[in-house]
A = this chain, B = another copy of it.
Amino acid sequence: MEGSAKRPLFGKAAIIGVGLIGGSLALVMKKRGLVERITGIGRGMENLETALSLGIVDDITQDPAAGVEGADLVVVAVPVQTTADVVKRAAPGMGPGTIVTDVGSVKGAIADQVPPLLPDGALFVPAHPVAGTEKSGAEAAFPELFEGRLCVITPVEDTDRGALEKVKKLWQEAGMRVVEMDPLHHDRIFSAVSHLPHVAAYCLVNTVAGARDADPHLLDYSAGGFRDFTRIASSPPEMWTGICALNSRFILEMIERYEESLSKVKELLEKGDLAGLREEFERARAVKDSIT
């Protein structure tokens, strides 16, 4: 066995939510010999059985407390709004020294909600591996998902440094570049670069589809640009509802800024100020060069 020469990072790992992220991380842990055994925990038996038959996990259960029993590492990879509930149900199975981490796209609320739910001695490390596709479920999992991407760890004052280093190592083994950041700073940044774009795409697709009253065959004419939006807007609604709910303050602020930008374009167009309009478009085009 490839990983047998070095001592694994963890003995038993429990993954709550064996979807795209949880399942892909399990595959990484197996491939890199980071763990001896993985228990998959979830709500849906069908998805768990898929994960088991694909060799993503070694055993499965729908009972969080039983599943985390004896685990050195518990990864919570469920939609953010259900994280607290799942942790509460798993907590009775955790012991002192159990490292608990999550993968959610919102960090402020999670850093507040989770620690009080844990038993004494369990160590929480909030993390956000920035990766994903519009697909979901164990079937969509693949170990290369994280390669070359960014993982943000958002420690708080009493985060255990040893636990943090282990979680950091885990994501580095998955091929990620790991950075540390304050949870609210994270939430503000991601409300801009990720959460607003998803809300904008969902709304755009609904708006365009709503214009079918002008022509029932309207979407037959959809060209390149619109198809990109439909791809983003096919992201899992449950996941994005949770993200919006838990990061609503910053997301509302970003939607308002976006409305201001649209309103400005509308005004320029109503006034026929084409030089002003072009300036707006030029400004947006220049951004691409600044990020590549």
Over the window 197-239 of chain A, the binary record of Cβ atoms lying under 8 Å from chain B Cβ atoms (1 yes, 0 no) is 1111111111111110011001111111111111111110110
In the complex, the answer to whether A223 meets B255 with C-beta atoms within 8 Å is no
Mark out the residues of chain A between 113 and 132 whose CB falls within 8 Å of any chain B CB in the assembled complex: 130, 132
A203–B197 Cα distance when bound, in Å, is: 11
In the complex, the answer to whether A232 meets B237 with C-beta atoms within 8 Å is no
A266–B251 Cα distance when bound, in Å, is: 9
Please indicate the chain B residues that have their CB under 8 angstroms from the CB of A224 in the complex.
132-133, 232
In the complex, the answer to whether B284 meets A205 with C-beta atoms within 8 Å is yes
Q: Indicate the size class of the contact surface on chain A.
A: 35 or more
In the complex, the answer to whether B203 meets A258 with C-beta atoms within 8 Å is yes
In the complex, the answer to whether A265 meets B194 with C-beta atoms within 8 Å is no
Q: Is A6 an interface residue (CB 8 A)?
A: no
Q: Is A7 an interface residue (CB 8 A)?
A: no
Please indicate the chain B residues that have their CB under 8 angstroms from the CB of A269 in the complex.
244-245, 248, 251-252, 255
Please indicate the chain B residues that have their CB under 8 angstroms from the CB of A210 in the complex.
257, 261
Q: Is A45 an interface residue (CB 8 A)?
A: no
* Contact flag A192-B208 (CB < 8 Å), given A232-B228, A285-B237: yes
In the complex, the answer to whether A261 meets B207 with C-beta atoms within 8 Å is yes
* Contact flag A225-B194 (CB < 8 Å), given A252-B266, A266-B255: yes
> Which chain B residue lies CB-closest to A197?
B225
Tell me how far the C-beta of A64 lies from the nearest C-beta in chain B, rounded to whole angstroms: 22
In the complex, the answer to whether B259 meets A209 with C-beta atoms within 8 Å is no
Please indicate the chain B residues that have their CB under 8 angstroms from the CB of A140 in the complex.
none
Please indicate the chain B residues that have their CB under 8 angstroms from the CB of A240 in the complex.
281
In the complex, the answer to whether A245 meets B272 with C-beta atoms within 8 Å is yes
Task: Among A204, A266, A280, find the residue whose CB has the most chain B CB atoms closer than 10 A.
Answer: A204
* Contact flag A218-B193 (CB < 8 Å), given A203-B262, A244-B269, A258-B203: yes
Task: Among A189, A190, A283, find the residue whose CB has the most chain B CB atoms closer than 10 A.
Answer: A189
A256–B248 Cα distance when bound, in Å, is: 23
Tell me how far the C-beta of A256 lies from the nearest C-beta in chain B, rounded to whole angstroms: 8
In the complex, the answer to whether B192 meets A214 with C-beta atoms within 8 Å is yes
A65–B190 Cα distance when bound, in Å, is: 54
Q: Is A185 an interface residue (CB 8 A)?
A: yes
Please indicate the chain B residues that have their CB under 8 angstroms from the CB of A270 in the complex.
248, 252
Mark out the residues of chain A between 247 and 292 whose CB falls within 8 Å of any chain B CB in the assembled complex: 248, 251-252, 254-263, 265-266, 269-270, 272, 274, 277-278, 280-285, 287-288, 290-291
In the complex, the answer to whether B258 meets A262 with C-beta atoms within 8 Å is yes
